[in-house]
Amino acid sequence: MKEKIFGGLEVFAKTMVQPLMYLSSAGILMVIGVLLTNDMITGMIPFLQWEPIQIFGKLIYNCVMVIINNLAVIFAIGIPAAIAKKEKHKAALIGFMSYIMYLTASNTMLTSLDQLATGSDMLGLTGTGQASILGIQIVDTSVFGGIILGCITGYVFNRTSEKRFKGALQIYSGANFSFICMFFVSIIFGVVSNLVWPLAQQGIASIANVIKNTGTFGLFLYGFLERILVPTGLHHLIYTPFQFSDLGGVLQVGTDTVAGAYAIVMTEIGLPVERFSDSIYYMATGFTKMFGYIGIGMAFIHTAYKHNKKKVKATVIPLVVTAILASVTEPLDFMFAFVAPLLFVVHAAIAGLFIALLKIFDVTAFCGGNLLASLIMNVTVGVEKTHWPVMIILGIVQILVYFVVFSFLIKKFNLKTPGREDEETSKDKEPAKTINFDTDIVNIIEGLGGKENINTVENCITRLRVNVKDENKINEDMINLTPNSGIVRKGKDIQIIFGLHVPDVRRAVESYLEAC
């Protein structure tokens, strides 16, 4: 049982990473778009104000944001492809079709029951509990819906894609049968999510009054919930009421009444007040985006296995820069939210703690999430009104707290954060001798007990990972006829260390198994 649980968690960790593997490249492109269109940068370099450059910058930014805003779709496609044992392309296609059927089912329910929300000019559907995905308005389950449906699709595909019928029903065999199963699953998932998810949304919304009436602790709770609920999409129901309704405060300016933290802060910028009002603390959800993610990235790089550090740096650094300059944290969040949930809970607690500390140290600086914009605004408004130097000090402290706490927890509990998916040994570093793919692959398969004994074949950075039906049929002497750097056995999970050319070995093994 223990082996199954940990094996399942390991598979889930790997399937979550694969749909996100391109986001580091997307992140660095987004940073370029932000820099080309940032008002401060263009003010310093007038050449960048040239209209073609501005259009180019917007094209880059918007084309990356469409990926970020549709992560649920990417998960719904990528997870089935990662889980599927065979015909991964068919699993991915069924995952996409299942997701759009789920979207349509949710929208049909909302339309039939006259429950479609009407968005505002400023916020759109944000805060209504609904969202528009691929142009279809649904109950907002954020990436959670894509992840759940993706996992279901992968599981159903593996269980049904080899089903064969006879006679006239033969056309419905294989992947067609998987599609038929997912057709009904998608509809049921859409209907159930419409019934269940609004209850969760109502529960979150009811917490708003607790946050408002519990002072500094309420600010901690506000920051904690805003981060911990990111994977579910329910975080919108935390910050939106405070930033855009009277829950965030009310300001009387002459005969006009201004409500909501955002409107109050924007109004107070032009007023001769000594300091911003306490409403500004509800705008501080960007504090951790500006500082904390630097510490998170440093911890991931520091704790990565030595042979993975360069790869982790190349992946994590662009995502950290994206969080700092573009306030987009989801790509980095989803790299550990599901594979290391303990770490994500701690992350949310630290984020909430530092919003409370801003209040305790009387810091009323603007922490909008974009570091450049926040610094410019705070310097322009002045130290007396914002106490922004203390914000910088707290930011440095937060970076150190994240680095120390994350590094300790990752090592203490051997969490599978970026660069730690593979167990480092000296054998992993030793390059295996050249493999003859025409003859040596047969030795591997026979040593694993033959085709009938092999359940799944995968690989990590250096190891061929095989799950077998009967570990007693393993013949290590036969396997070792093929040059390798070692064999690691964990029950039915067999790992053969081949080094960095292991993807070629895996493809050769899969090709041989298909040809048999």
**Which of 224, 74, 73 has its CA nearest to residue 134?**
73
- Element housing 256 (H / E): strand 256-259
The highest-confidence range among 134-143, 159-168, 345-354, 467-476, by mean pLDDT, is: 345-354
Give 295-331 pLDDT, tens digit per residue. 999 999 999 988 888 888 988 998 898 889 888 888 8
**Which of 324, 292, 299, 325 has its CA nearest to residue 313?**
299
Alpha helix (H) residue ranges in 69-118: 71-83, 88-112
Q: How many CB atoms lie within 10 A of CB 4?
A: 10
Give 450-500 pLDDT, tens digit per residue. 989 998 888 876 788 898 999 999 999 999 988 888 888 888 889 898 877
- Whether the predicted pLDDT of 502 surpasses 90: no
Query: What's the Cα-to-Cα distance from 335 to each of 18, 158, 205, 224, 340, rounded to whole Å?
Result: 10, 25, 27, 19, 9
Average pLDDT taken over every residue of the chain? 86
The full length of the chain comes to 516
More confident of the two residues 516 and 345: 345
Confidence of residue 3 (pLDDT cuts 50, 70, 90): low
What type of residue is 275? R
Euclidean distance between CA atoms 179 and 160, whole angstroms: 9
- HSE toward the beta carbon, residue 317, CA cutoff 13 A: 8
| pLDDT number for residue 290 | 94
Euclidean distance between CA atoms 372 and 241, whole angstroms: 26
| pLDDT number for residue 430 | 54
State how beta strands 493-497 and 463-468 pair: antiparallel
Confidence of residue 194 (pLDDT cuts 50, 70, 90): very high
Tokens encoding 481: 């006829």
Mean pLDDT in residue range 266-277: 79
More confident of the two residues 439 and 405: 405
Ranges of beta strands (E only) in 119-231 are 130-133, 136-139
Alpha helix (H) residue ranges in 365-479: 371-381, 383-386, 388-412, 426-429, 440-447, 476-479
Euclidean distance between CA atoms 264 and 277, whole angstroms: 8
Euclidean distance between CA atoms 16 and 269, whole angstroms: 43
Residue 338, φ and ψ in degrees, nearest 5: -100, -30
**Which of 344, 365, 316 has its CA nearest to residue 20?**
316
| Window from 58-62, 167-171, 506-510 with minimum mean pLDDT | 167-171
What type of residue is 392? I
| pLDDT number for residue 222 | 95
Domain architecture of the chain: domains with CATH: 1-202 (no CATH), 284-413 (no CATH), 437-515 (3.30.1360.60)
More confident of the two residues 333 and 462: 333
| Window from 44-48, 193-197, 365-369, 444-448 with minimum mean pLDDT | 365-369
Give 338-396 pLDDT, tens digit per residue. 888 999 999 999 999 999 999 999 999 988 767 877 888 888 788 888 899 999 999 99
More confident of the two residues 102 and 166: 102
Chain-centre distance for alpha carbon 230: 9
Chain-centre distance for alpha carbon 113: 33
Give 11-25 pLDDT, tens digit per residue. 665 666 666 667 667
Q: How many CB atoms lie within 10 A of CB 62?
A: 12
| pLDDT number for residue 299 | 97
Look-up: residue for tokens 């093994």?
A: 509
Euclidean distance between CA atoms 111 and 326, whole angstroms: 35
| pLDDT number for residue 362 | 93
Q: Which residues are catalytic?
A: 460
More confident of the two residues 81 and 407: 407
Give 93-130 pLDDT, tens digit per residue. 999 999 999 999 999 999 999 999 888 777 788 778 89
**Helical axes 309-326 vs 292-303, angle rounded to 10°:** 170
Would you say 103 and 138 are in contact if contact means Cβ atoms under 8 Å apart? Answer: yes
Phi-psi region of 362 (alpha: psi -120 to 50; beta: other; left: phi over 0): left
Would you say 293 and 329 are in contact if contact means Cβ atoms under 8 Å apart? Answer: yes
| pLDDT number for residue 244 | 74
Query: What's the Cα-to-Cα distance from 336 to each of 31, 165, 419, rounded to whole Å?
Result: 22, 42, 11
State how beta strands 256-259 and 454-459 pair: unpaired
Judge if pTM exceeds 0.85.
no
- The three-class DSSP label of residue 135 is coil
More confident of the two residues 451 and 439: 451
Give 208-251 pLDDT, tens digit per residue. 888 988 999 999 999 999 999 888 777 877 887 888 777 888 88
Euclidean distance between CA atoms 309 and 418, whole angstroms: 9
| pLDDT number for residue 8 | 59
| pLDDT number for residue 9 | 56
Phi-psi region of 249 (alpha: psi -120 to 50; beta: other; left: phi over 0): left
Q: How many CB atoms lie within 10 A of CB 356?
A: 21
Mean pLDDT in residue range 49-58: 90
| Window from 219-233, 271-285, 420-434, 489-503 with minimum mean pLDDT | 420-434
Euclidean distance between CA atoms 277 and 267, whole angstroms: 11
- The three-class DSSP label of residue 499 is coil
